[in-house]
């Protein structure tokens, strides 16, 4: 019930407008979001690189409403790639197709994304196509397969979510293409007609998919903070003699920094997803829905802020 409530709140723009004006909420958001500007995000990437960790920059925002917004988002991603190159940072970028105009017109979206991919190719970088809710899964995979991957195979990858029933088949398809996959559990509220309703089934599917990706995939990214899933990955890699150069772990900015550093110390590759931008509220709500214990952090912050104001 709590998870469903948080996911509902993520889609309420009126609440977002109120929360964005609240200083306490903004400070809490900075735990998980690297500020609202590219400059603050690049500073966060620089700090991660100093810890031996790669990054993936993501400009927050979904479902643009007109062509000019889609084109502006594409230009901002081009600027991100150019600044990463200029500052010699270890980072790629992640983007959502709805932020590139998918809800407006397929041809608009393809054109915007291809412009970003072309710049990534020129600079020798990489773009990850994020996965959104299940209503976009088939469209995203089809656009990736038919319009993006064929021309930019070395510079574009996709995300697959283990809570969907279809994902094992999608993993096998991606492995056949030699496409790079980020495997995650999934963060959207999905009906049980398309997704496993129970965590144990999501986890079991995650393990089946990660085994297939490690064994047959092309430099997969295993995206999880779940220690059981991390153990399943490292155990299988050691058993199959799959070296750390053949895959990477991925985690979210501000989440389980202790595990990030531990895995790096153990010799595994780590990349942290670094979101930034003014549209941080929906992202924050989804992170809380994934891990409701984060609410304890809010409660502690509220208590400290209240005490400070009373002094």
182 is catalytic: yes
**Locate tokens 């412009």: which residue?**
115
Q: Which helix (H) or strand (E) holds 54?
A: strand 54-59
Single out the catalytic residue among 58, 130, 170, 203.
130
Which tokens belong to 151?
């021309």
Single out the catalytic residue among 128, 180, 182, 269.
182
Nearest partner of 276 among 109, 52, 133, 93, judged by Cα: 93
Q: How far apart are CA 34 and CA 272, in angstroms?
A: 12
269 is catalytic: no
SS3 call for 246: helix
Query: For the chain, what is the radius of gyration of the CA atoms?
Result: 19
Q: How far apart are CA 63 and CA 253, in angstroms?
A: 23
**Using an 8 Å Cβ cutoff, are 139 and 109 in contact?**
no
Nearest partner of 201 among 217, 185, 180, 177, judged by Cα: 185
Q: Could you give the C-alpha distances from 281 to 1, 53, 121, 267, in angstroms and in order?
A: 20, 26, 32, 34
Residues with a known catalytic role: 130, 182
């Amino acid at each position: 019930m709590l998870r469903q409530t948080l996911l509902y709140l993520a889609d309420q723009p009126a609440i977002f407008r109120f929360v964005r004006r609240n200083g306490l909420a903004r400070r809490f958001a900075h735990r998980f979001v690297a500020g609202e500007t590219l400059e603050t995000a690049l500073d966060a990437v620089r700090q991660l690189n100093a810890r031996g960790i790669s990054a993936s920059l993501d400009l927050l925002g979904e479902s643009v409403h007109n062509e000019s917004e889609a084109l502006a988002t594409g230009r901002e991603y081009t600027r991100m790639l150019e600044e990463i190159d200029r500052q010699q940072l270890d980072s790629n970028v992640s983007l959502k197709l709805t932020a590139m105009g998918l809800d407006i017109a397929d041809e608009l979206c393809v054109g915007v994304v291809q412009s970003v991919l072309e710049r990534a190719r020129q600079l020798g970088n990489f773009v990850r196509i994020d996965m959104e809710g299940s209503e976009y899964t088939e469209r995203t995979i089809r656009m990736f397969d038919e319009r993006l991957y064929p021309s930019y195979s070395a510079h574009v990858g996709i995300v697959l979510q283990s809570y969907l029933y279809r994902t094992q088949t999608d993993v096998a398809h991606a492995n056949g293409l030699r496409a790079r996959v980020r495997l995650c559990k999934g963060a959207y509220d999905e009906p049980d007609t398309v997704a496993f309703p129970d965590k144990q089934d999501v986890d079991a599917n995650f393990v089946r998919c990660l085994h297939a990706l490690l064994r047959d995939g092309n430099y997969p990214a295993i995206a999880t903070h779940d220690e059981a899933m991390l153990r399943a990955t490292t155990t299988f890699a050691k058993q199959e003699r799959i070296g750390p150069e053949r895959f990477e772990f991925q985690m979210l900015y501000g989440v389980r920094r202790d595990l990030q550093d531990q895995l790096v110390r153990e010799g595994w590759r780590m990349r942290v997803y670094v979101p930034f931008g003014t549209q941080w509220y929906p992202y924050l709500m989804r992170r809380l829905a994934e891990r409701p214990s984060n609410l304890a952090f809010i409660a502690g912050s509220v208590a400290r802020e209240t005490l400070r104001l009373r002094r």
